[in-house]
Structure 1
Amino acid sequence: MTQRSSRMDALVEDERVNAGLGWVLVVFLFAVAVASLLRADFLWAIFTGFVFTLAVIPPLAYRNAEAMLPWEVLLLAALPVLGRALATLALTTRVATYLSVAALALIVAVELHVFTPVRMTHWFAILFVVIATIATAGVLAVIEWLSDVYLGTTFIRSEQLLMWDFVYATVVGIVAGIVFELYFRRVAPAQARLPSDLQEQIE
């Protein structure tokens, strides 16, 4: 059991494996963004395109293809996108929205923690992800409202449902903050996925 666990740790922490899996997910996000744009699903095209942009900023900034976010973070962002694309129930699509918002906040937190000198205390790390999730939900609400006004969509059905969206986003944000603190800072530190020379450069 211990040997199997060590093999999994080595697989997760290897920078080449992490970069390879990360780039596969980045290509998937790009394809979904293009497909959403072609279907005139502008809100999800913007969201997926934004996730794609955040994912490619580190490799472009450091000019190193292995300077990639942990693949688990990108997977968390990709799963809600895929779930929404395959969903047939409205509830499922709303859950996908909350998870996507939290995943986006998680990406921002991990990028700050890994690729900048910024270091957060335990409680502030959780608080940051929660606040970033709520703020992202607010930005999405404004985009939905603008879409309803100028494009004739019906994203916002009532003010009450909109307020519940913020409640759900807050709950999911708390879960995402705990995941960030317990997993990406303690169990599988994201810095371990980077090449040693890049780690020295960031520090």
Structure 2
Amino acid sequence: MSGDVTDLLRDRRVNAVLAWLVVALILAVAAGSVVQGELLWAGFTGALACIVLFPPLAYRNSQAMLPWEIVLLAALPVVGRLFTTVPVTGNLATYLSVAAVALIVSVELQLFTAVKMTPRFAVVFVGVTTMAAAGIWAVARWAVDRTLGTTFILDPALSEHAIEEALMWQFVASTVAGIGAGVFFAWYVGRQVAVARLPEEVGQ
């Protein structure tokens, strides 16, 4: 029995170290975005890091981290967008990043609260959360365009109809990415997440 406890603690420490390393990578991406002048994207990346860090801050325990695989999955599109130079690829990374936020929120609810989702509900929840996050992201870009004169959405070279059509396609792409993230979440939580990472044990 003591051996099982030792293995459990070791696994928890390893998971925490790996998750913190990925968080450091996300923060580095945020800093890189600031250097490149991508302040809006830097804010999005910083918000992602804050969401990931919510459990250890709330429980005041550095080991109360999400599974490192989930954190890495959320970080990949963020890192990819920083280094891409192709607009289509950049947009795809944005959609995946929005879905990653919804995925992180869903995993945190599943692991660190009393909320338990069935696989079907998880797919719907992550999809809807992604749509909500995409809406907030669109409003943020619109607000920056209005206040700073940028062209994230309000591009003078495009007609109002073209802007609306592009925005709707972004919502469609984000929804598809969210449904994909929901399917992954349902599979991962159902098969891979250990009970050992629940807050009752993390807080001990």
TM-score range, shorter chain: 0.7 to 0.9
User: Deviation per CA, 1:126-156, whole angstroms, max 9, x where unpaired?
Assistant: 1110000000000000011111111121112
**Worse-superposed segment, 94-103 or 52-61:** 52-61
Q: Is the 8 A contact 1:66 1:195 kept in 2?
A: no
TM-score, structure 1 normalization: 0.86
Q: Which residue of the partner structure matches residue 173 of structure 2?
A: 168
Return 90-99 or 185-194, whichever deviates more. Answer: 185-194
2:192 alignment partner in structure 1: 188
Please report the RMSD computed on the Cα atoms of aligned residues, expressed in angstroms: 2.0
Is contact 2:127-2:182 (8 Å) kept? yes
| 2:114 equivalent among 109, 113, 117 | 117
One-letter amino acid matched to 2:47: F
- Runs of 5+ in structure 1 lacking a partner? 1-9
Q: 2:33 aligns with which of 14, 33, 36?
A: 36
Moved over 2 A (4+): 37-40, 190-199
1:67, distance to aligned residue in structure 2 (A): 0.5
Q: Which residue of 1 aligns with 2:46?
A: 49
Matched, 1:67 2:59: no
| Structure 1 partner of 2:84 | 87
Inter-partner Cα distance in structure 2 for 1:23 and 1:112: 19
How many angstroms apart in 2 are the aligned matches of 1:105 and 1:45? 18
Structure 2 Cα separation of the partners of residues 144 and 191 of structure 1: 39
**1:81, distance to aligned residue in structure 2 (A):** 1.3
Which secondary structure state, in structure 2, belongs to the residue aligned with residue 95 of structure 1? helix
Q: Is the CA contact 1:14–1:193 (under 8 Å) kept in the aligned structure 2?
A: no
Larger Rg belongs to = 2
Q: Identity across aligned pairs (percent)?
A: 53
Structure 2: which amino acid aligns with 1:82? V
| Paired position in structure 2 for 1:197 | 201
Match of 2:19 in 1: 22
Please, what TM-score do these two structures have when normalized by structure 2? 0.86
Q: How far apart, CA to CA, are the structure 2 residues paired with 1:118 and 1:82? A: 30
Q: Write the mapping of 1:85-164 to structure 2, written as runs, cut at 5 A.
A: 85-156=82-153, 157=155, 158-164=163-169
In 1, distance between residues paired with 2:111 and 2:175? 24
> What is the rounded CA distance, in whole Å, between the counterparts of 1:115 and 1:193 in structure 2?
9
1:87 is displaced (CA, Å) by 0.4
